[in-house]
Amino acid sequence: MTNARFTATPVPRRALRVATTLATLAAMDYFAIGLGIVPENFKSPPAPIMIVAGLAYLIGGGLILIAHRRLMLAGAVANALVLLLFVVSAFMGNATIDALSLSGKAAQVVLGALLVWFVKQMGKGRGGV
C-alpha cells in the first residue's frame, strides 16, 4: 500500500480546459482595458493594475491545469473578490459597464462556479473539506 498524497483528478480534464479558457478570456479583457483598446471615457483602474490583473488570470488559468484543490480554492476566493470589487466600483460610478466589461465578468462568474465545483469534487472521498 502506498502513501500517495494526491490522487487522480476527480474532475474531467475537459472541464479544467474550459476553466483555463475562461481565465484566458478574462485576461484578454483586462489586457484590452490596460492597453487602452477601449473608448477614451472608459472608467477603470490604472492601466498597470489592469495589466497585472490580466497576468494574474493567465497564470491562474495555467495553475488550474495542475488540478490541486488548494489552488482551486485560492482561485475561487480571489475571483470572487475581483467580482465583488467590480460590483462595488460599478455602484460607486467608477466602472464602465459595457459589452467588453460584461463579457469578462460573465467569463469570471462561470469560472468561479467551475472553481467551486472543482473544490467540491476534489473534496469527495477524503472526508469532505
C-alpha cell read off for 25:
478570456
2 falls within a domain: no
37 falls within a domain: yes
pLDDT of residue 129: 43
Burial of 52 (C-beta count, 10 Å sphere; 0-12/13-18/19+): middle
89 falls within a domain: yes
pLDDT of residue 40: 84
pLDDT of residue 1: 47
pLDDT of residue 125: 55
Mean pLDDT across the chain, nearest whole number? 88
- Cα separation values, 125 from 3, 7, 33, 68, Å: 16, 11, 42, 15
Percentage with pLDDT > 70 across the chain: 89
The number of folded domains in the chain is: 1
SS3 (DSSP) at 90: helix
Q: Give the tens place of pLDDT for each residue, 72-123.
A: 999 999 999 999 999 999 899 888 888 988 999 999 999 999 999 999 998 8
